[in-house]
């Protein structure tokens, strides 16, 4: 029994020491962004039931102490902290960001402290590249298409996200302009205007002038309309078109003969609506005027941001915004099967299974979780609980150490008695 006490004490000290190492590492990373702590599991060594004098099995057992059976990553999320950078990301539920560093192998992390380096690549704090899907709307530093929500590519095709630092959005000429408002029924000149972009990217002026026809019809009102396009300062005229618009006695537009107009080489259609959908002429409302046009002037890149859907959004000086990339979020069948590479980085293993993406009902890859920009996930270590565990393990270590000392004293006494 004294020999068994030695083994029990030694195993207990080794087990407690392992637990102390694990808890100490957890506590040392209590301020590490995206850290996932490690839980430990102990088991008894060679435990046997004690047989009583009459041969029956008791509820007591005897063994050679305990050992560290397994360690497992804690999957509890940490708290979320607000930041002032749109490139800081936090995964609010299940999932992992993918990064690739010097090992050229994909690594997985919950640390979303991202930013753009001098080459325009989205990187983590240690310089590893963040993985995701690049948009197909960037060609020769020109944005070729405005995209709202960028689809996520296949899990095996994710790549580092690198974007040009000099990016332009080309101007698009106006092809259609719509006018809205109320001319009223008083015999006064009414004007409306709109900016229209020509093929050179210049915003010119389109002006409509309404004057009542003389004499007026017996029912409703009728107006002559003159449309003109000029340069922004009004010094260079491009085109003039005339037409007549007629309204019934309720103010609804019932006919319009105004056609298209030339805007420095680009044809622009003028839409005055129909019935009550555009221009009206009624005494029941105040005089009003408004317009809307397609087309846009060119713009230069202001910067890149990341929205809550993981889209990397380019913003231009003309107000245009477009997704140009998407940060990937990976998932695993067994997160606890991931192999820890460092405090915040993991690699897949046979226990975790291969990384995969969730899909929607149409089979399209999706993030499968909610993420938030301008937030970071802190360590999931509860400092108070960790310190309590550390005290318990230290006392267990001391108790096992004392049991070895006691066993040694008992053996010495036994040897002395034999002498």
Helix (H) or strand (E) holding 237: strand 237-247
Q: How far apart are CA 186 and CA 190, in angstroms?
A: 10
pLDDT exceeds 90 at position 31: no
Residues in CB range of 3: below 8 A, 6 or more apart: none
Angle at which helices 2-28 and 383-418 cross, to 10°: 160
Structure confidence at residue 48 (pLDDT): 47
Pairing of strands 57-62, 365-366: unpaired
Pairing of strands 138-139, 129-134: unpaired
Instruction: For residue 236, give both structure tokens.
Output: 């260079």
49 pLDDT tier (thresholds 50, 70, 90): very low
Environment class of 35 (CB within 10 Å of its CB; exposed 0-12, middle 13-18, buried 19+) = buried
Q: Nearest 5°: phi and psi at 337? A: -85, -5
Q: How far apart are CA 37 and CA 46, in angstroms?
A: 29
Report the predicted TM-score, pTM, of the whole model to 2 decimal places: 0.72
What single-letter DSSP state applies at residue 72? Answer: E
Q: How far apart are CA 100 and CA 232, in angstroms?
A: 51
Instruction: For residue 129, give both structure tokens.
Output: 């590249």
Q: What angle do CA 112, 96, 126 make, to 5 degrees?
A: 40
Tens of pLDDT along 175-218? 999 999 999 999 999 999 999 999 999 999 999 999 999 999 99
Cα separation values, 137 from 71, 303, 316, 383, Å: 46, 16, 14, 47
Helix (H) or strand (E) holding 66: strand 66-73
Query: What structural domains and CATH numbers belong to the chain?
Result: 2-73+380-418 (no CATH), 80-163+325-377 (no CATH), 176-293 (2.60.98.20)
Tens of pLDDT along 124-168? 999 999 999 999 999 999 999 999 999 999 999 999 999 999 999
Q: How far apart are CA 29 and CA 39, in angstroms?
A: 14
What single-letter DSSP state applies at residue 350? Answer: T
Tens of pLDDT along 236-250? 999 999 999 999 999
Q: Which of 102-106, 228-232, 388-392 has the lowest mean pLDDT?
A: 388-392
pLDDT exceeds 70 at position 418: no
Residues in CB range of 309: below 8 A, 6 or more apart: 149, 326, 367, 371
């Amino acid at each position: 029994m004294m020999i068994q006490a030695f083994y029990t004490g030694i195993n207990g000290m080794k087990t407690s020491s392992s637990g102390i190492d694990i808890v100490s590492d957890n506590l040392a990373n209590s301020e590490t962004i995206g850290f996932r702590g490690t839980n430990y599991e102990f088991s008894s060594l060679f435990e046997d039931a004690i047989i009583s004098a009459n041969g029956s099995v008791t509820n007591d057992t005897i063994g050679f102490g305990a050992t560290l059976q397994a360690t497992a990553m804690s999957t509890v999320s940490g708290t979320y902290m607000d930041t002032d950078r749109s490139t800081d990301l936090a995964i609010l539920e299940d999932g992992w960001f993918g990064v690739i560093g010097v090992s050229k192998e994909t690594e997985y992390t919950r640390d979303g402290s991202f930013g753009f380096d001098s080459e325009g690549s989205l990187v983590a704090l240690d310089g590893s590249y963040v993985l995701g899907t690049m948009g197909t709307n960037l060609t020769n530093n020109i944005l070729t298409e405005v995209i709202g929500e960028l689809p996520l590519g296949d899990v095996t095709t994710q790549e580092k996200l690198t974007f040009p630092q000099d990016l332009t959005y080309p101007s698009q000429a106006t092809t259609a302009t719509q006018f809205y408002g109320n001319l009223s029924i008083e015999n006064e000149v009414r004007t409306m205007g709109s900016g229209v972009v020509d093929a050179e990217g210049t915003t010119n002026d389109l002006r409509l002038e309404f004057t009542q026809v003389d004499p007026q019809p017996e029912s409703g009102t009728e107006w002559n309309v003159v449309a003109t396009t000029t340069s922004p300062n009004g010094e260079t005229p491009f085109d003039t078109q005339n037409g007549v618009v007629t309204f019934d006695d309720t103010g609804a537009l019932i006919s319009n003969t105004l056609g298209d107009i030339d805007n420095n080489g680009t044809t622009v259609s003028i839409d005055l609506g129909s019935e009550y959908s555009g221009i009206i002429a009624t005494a029941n409302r105040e005089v009003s005027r408004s317009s809307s046009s397609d087309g846009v002037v060119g713009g230069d890149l202001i910067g890149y941001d990341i929205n809550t859907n993981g889209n990397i959004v380019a913003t231009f000086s003309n107000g245009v915004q477009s997704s140009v990339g998407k940060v990937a979020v990976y998932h695993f069948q067994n997160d606890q099967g991931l192999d820890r590479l460092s405090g915040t980085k993991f690699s897949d293993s046979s226990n975790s299974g291969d990384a995969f993406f969730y899909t929607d009902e149409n089979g399209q890859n999706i993030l499968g979780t909610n993420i938030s920009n301008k937030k970071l996930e802190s360590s999931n270590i509860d400092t108070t609980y960790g310190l309590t565990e550390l005290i318990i393990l230290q006392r267990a270590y001391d108790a096992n150490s004392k049991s070895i000392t006691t066993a040694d004293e008992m053996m010495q006494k036994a040897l002395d008695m034999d002498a």
